[in-house]
Structure 1
Amino acid sequence: MQRHEASRQGRGQVTLVGAGPGAADLLTLRAVRAMQAADVILFDALVSTEVLDLARREAKRMLVGKRGHRVSCRQEDINALMIKLAKQGKRVVRLKSGDPMIFGRAGEEIAALAVENIPVDIVPGVTAALAAASDLGVSLTHRDCAQGVKFITAHSRKGELPDLDWCACADVATTLVVYMGGRTAPALANRLMEEGLSPTTPVVVLHDVSLPGANCQPMSLSDLLHAVIEREGPVLIGIGDVFRDVAARTGIATPPPTNCLPLAVAN
């Protein structure tokens, strides 16, 4: 509705588009249509070239990525740029890795645009946790193991573990998926064990989900305590008994389950 109203008045607009975890064939049709209609595309550093290739050829592409401990665009500058371009009558696509509404700062951008009365559309994308579950053949809510799933970030504004309800995060009946946890993995493991989660709890550390160079490292929570994650690219950490079968398929020995019935091992 906002999009059509903006078009009638000759005003610009902004569309927040989820680019998914990297593989272009995980984009939605709506995302491709938005990219094909854009005048300007502001894209994150984690958006793949394969995804950008699906944009309208005439669209101007501008990198506005934010990467930890590197020179990055400030969120305030990105907000200001979107507002400036929209006021010039441009159709702006803000292309975000994964889903815009999952740790994508979409709330801040929507609020900034609303103050300026700039129409905003949102196109969901496949978030990394769901792509990882599919790649691994793991149900995040396998009914014999987990009665819930929780997405958290392990990286606060200060680069440390955020102030969360860590007791709830250590629930053995909940699958925990941790975004941006590469640098804080040992502190994360320590905090969860302090809250009572077993050191033998299965863990998977995933890099570059859905991409050709994807990598999965099964381990236990106690292993994560001493892990040094140096690989470049996005890191996703899965914690919980639903990942026990992943370790079994790699041939890595694992302890008996703490909270679930044995899962079938894929042939």
Structure 2
Amino acid sequence: MSIIMKGSEVAAAMKEELLREVEKLAQKGIVPQLGIVRVGARPDDLAYERGAVKRMEAVGIRCKVIELPESISQEVFEKEFSAVDSNPDIHGILLFRPLPKQLDEESVRNIIDPKKDIDCMSPVNMAKVFAGDESGFAPCTPEAVMEVLAHFGIDLKGKRVTVVGRSMVVGKPLSMLLLKKNATVTICHTKTADLGATCRNAEILVAAAGKANMITAEFVSENSIVVDVGINVGSDGKLCGDVDFEAVAPKTASITPVPGGVGTVTSSVLAKHVVRAANYLNGLS
């Protein structure tokens, strides 16, 4: 029977460590603070914001939400963002993306202080991820995958890992993090010829293509480990992943669910990054 790798279990373990780290900072008179920059009020942004604020407050991290009008101009947006970036009380910045069409996200990538860039917008941090330099911040979702694998004792050394998805948000940076742990990584995508055969060759399969239920039982080898990063709305209106969980789970040794898997860990990684940033910015590590 498959082990269901629940994100709540990983997040609970991370919470204990975060509480210890926040207490160490408190003893030095430092309270870590997250600045959330949101343009407009998209329902998915608001839902993630509520969860993130709750997770931060649970471990003693303050949150400051900067809500900007959806019609904001590029000039005013850059001015407001720079003000957040230069605020010494804010240690980490989370910008909800995508931005409205009139705004150029590229300019902000070059504005943000890499030490406050806790979700890897800055080209400096992305370069560090690809160089294997752990002093930077990786995107939160790929790091959440790594936290899940580590928590459940999955040794990556020498393992054949296939990542379905090549985005700069998940697929590519995750592949670099896996390589750092000495996995043998194959990156594929929806245009890969005979995708099923490539996936079946994997001992560990990570689905991050953003297509509901595309990974069926035919894509998975017996007793493999499957990590589902996808968050989609299925034809029944319910939240689902990139993996057809009911069909795939019986073949696997371990599998993450959606909801309740990797996504549950992402906000804990965000909190971990805020704490790291507070240490960096105060010269503590």
TM-score, normalised with respect to structure 1: 0.39
Which structure carries more helix by proportion?
A: 2
Asked which structure has the greater RCO (Cα within 8 Å, sep 6+), the reply is 2
